[in-house]
Structure 1
């Protein structure tokens, strides 16, 4: 069960003019609770002007081998008008305490032999840095190709950490850098990595058909373009994993349509306990549950992070947006509670599965 605990800020490292890395100290009694798989994220919450704010940030440090972590490191990039990112860059100091949820997320890769690749943009490097560093350190039979896109070299997060991986694992780590707003002295020409460019580029870089897992992370446009390129190249969807950091004005995927019932009851199982409550007009399943169980897990409420994933036991729902669950999960019956609205009079979900 996901829970919040207070963790002390042990270090604040400036990465670029608009990003920082926060290192959080994990006390001995909480280390098992914060054991994580490379690629997972943390939800952080604070209250400002009487309003609770939650944001998710990916863990960027390699996962310890065989032990629980004593520190966690996350990357935070400033978002214009961002309530938490502004606070992180301008106010957080060493010694401050943050309320941090235990790790979550399924954009993960436990170390295993094979060839893997990632296409990332901007702060999308954060979870992939944990994935690739853990993989190369623990599995000598693994190789990784990282294709990263940034605006300029000055805006590139974790530049030194990625360069260090290249120096340590020159035979097993391939790095390709593309800058969209700055010309490079060597390497690929500047410009965006869209579907057409990636469709031509990927086969020239590596044997696409032999890649065991693709990891796409960053803004919606980049991830969508990379996913379409891989489909064009015949890559099976089971080998493609996605995590979107910024959706902006991208259209919500079309879901099942149906008239909302006049009266709806929502039954939910959470942390071993169940309950049934009437839903108010227009609210999501998550909002119904939160009114009665404030401990229900969520972070973004935007259909992006996947923290509120639940199994649909019975009934039907309309899911407005889904940028977190993969096709196999929705086909198995999972929904995002923050985006799901009842289509039938009775709906039952299970957060514990």
Structure 2
């Protein structure tokens, strides 16, 4: 990707080119990217965009949505970008997107981010997705198949009903275009199909039996799991039982609900704890107020600190722990090797020691 003024991305106002109704509770938003900004919006297949709006009451709301359009080829950035937005009950931004955003409107859009990506390469790849988890995988599969004639892709997708299935036509088009290299398996949890697999959830037990029947599991170079927490966890467990190395499994959680269980008790921060943070080459040190996360402390002093969901899901606030100790409330974004290497999510981290130092630039 081309370099930008801030390595953590920046917001730009983009005009909405189209709003397409995908299902009763899902829309696709397409943004026009001015030629002067196209290099900044180059993206790897699988990355996401953070969208921002300020409510009538003055509150800032940010949400991340995966790019479903294929990644651009060559050095030229995209003229348009499309994301899928599923309506979430009580969701402030998704409700706004469904009821208010119209073609011609302008939305604040951050430059692409995220590490749930696949750079096109030869080999056999596969994905297990649920619901709106199809959005980044659609970009991954479409880009891979278009750029690498020596690559294959197997998509196992789970949806409630046929009517609730996002990007139905786009996935069918991939099947028509690459019949020998794109394998599609659809499971509906609440509706019987005329042909194919029976209805029901894709859990660990079912996937453990299903996946070896579909493809040579051990030969798959990369597995991409995306969707609700329960589906992703079940798929990960199934793959581990089938002997797949953890290094070949890539995950992105879209929905985190009560099934994740209770959060660990929050560690009380020392009375006089301070946070030092390096961001875009500049460092500062600030006192932590009672109950604040590390991100909240930094944001009080650096409004440009990177974040999107504040829920431990998107990974935008990833930082390297240089010194001190923190405790994360929860983590659904960082891989095990990242946490072992010293990376944390600032939005979920609370100081355990008097001094904590983070580097957002690593």
Structure 1 and Structure 2 fold alike (TM over 0.5): yes
Unaligned runs of 5+ in 1: none
How far residue 254 of structure 1 moved from its aligned partner, in angstroms, is 7.2
2:170 is the counterpart of 1:161 = yes
How far residue 252 of structure 1 moved from its aligned partner, in angstroms, is 5.9
2:40 is the counterpart of 1:29 = no
Partner of 1:230: 239
Cα offsets for 1:79-111 (capped at 9, x unmatched): 111111111111111110000111110000010
Cα offsets for 1:6-27 (capped at 9, x unmatched): 0000111111111110100111
How many Å separate the matches in 1 of 2:123 and 2:325? 40
Aligned equivalent of 1:261, options 270, 280, 302: 270
Aligned to 2:347, what secondary structure does the other structure show? coil
How many Å separate the matches in 1 of 2:172 and 2:90? 31
Partner of 1:6: 13
Cα offsets for 1:126-145 (capped at 9, x unmatched): 00000000000001111000
Partner of 2:93: 84
**Aligned residue pairs, count:** 353
C-alpha RMSD of the superposition: 1.3
Contact between 1:208 and 1:235, CA under 8 Å: does it hold in 2? yes
Cα offsets for 1:211-253 (capped at 9, x unmatched): 1000000001100110111111111110000000000113368
How many Å separate the matches in 1 of 2:154 and 2:66? 20
Q: Moved runs in structure 1, 4+ residues, more than 4 A?
A: 252-259
Aligned equivalent of 1:59, options 47, 67, 70: 67
2:292 is the counterpart of 1:278 = no
Partner of 2:340: 331
Contact between 1:256 and 1:318, CA under 8 Å: does it hold in 2? no
Aligned equivalent of 2:257, options 244, 248, 261: 248
Aligned equivalent of 2:212, options 203, 219, 224: 203
Listed as ranges, the matches of 1:86-105 within 5 Å are 86-105=95-114
How many Å separate the matches in 2 of 1:252 and 1:245? 16
How far residue 325 of structure 1 moved from its aligned partner, in angstroms, is 0.5
Partner of 1:318: 327
Aligned equivalent of 1:47, options 39, 47, 54: 54
How many Å separate the matches in 2 of 1:85 and 1:256? 31
TM-score (norm 1): 0.98
How many Å separate the matches in 2 of 1:91 and 1:280? 37
Partner of 1:126: 135
How many Å separate the matches in 1 of 2:268 and 2:18? 51
Contact between 2:204 and 2:238, CA under 8 Å: does it hold in 1? yes
How many Å separate the matches in 2 of 1:283 and 1:132? 40
TM-score (norm 2): 0.95
Q: 1:252 to 1:277 in 2, by over 3 A?
A: farther
How many Å separate the matches in 1 of 2:132 and 2:298? 32
Cα offsets for 1:37-79 (capped at 9, x unmatched): 0000000011112211110000000011102111110000111
Aligned equivalent of 2:25, options 6, 18, 38: 18
Aligned to 1:75, what secondary structure does the other structure show? strand
Aligned equivalent of 1:75, options 76, 84, 88: 84
Cα offsets for 1:173-224 (capped at 9, x unmatched): 0000000011000000000000110011111111111110000000011001
Aligned to 2:101, what secondary structure does the other structure show? coil
Contact between 2:266 and 2:329, CA under 8 Å: does it hold in 1? no
Contact between 1:309 and 1:351, CA under 8 Å: does it hold in 2? yes
Partner of 2:4: none
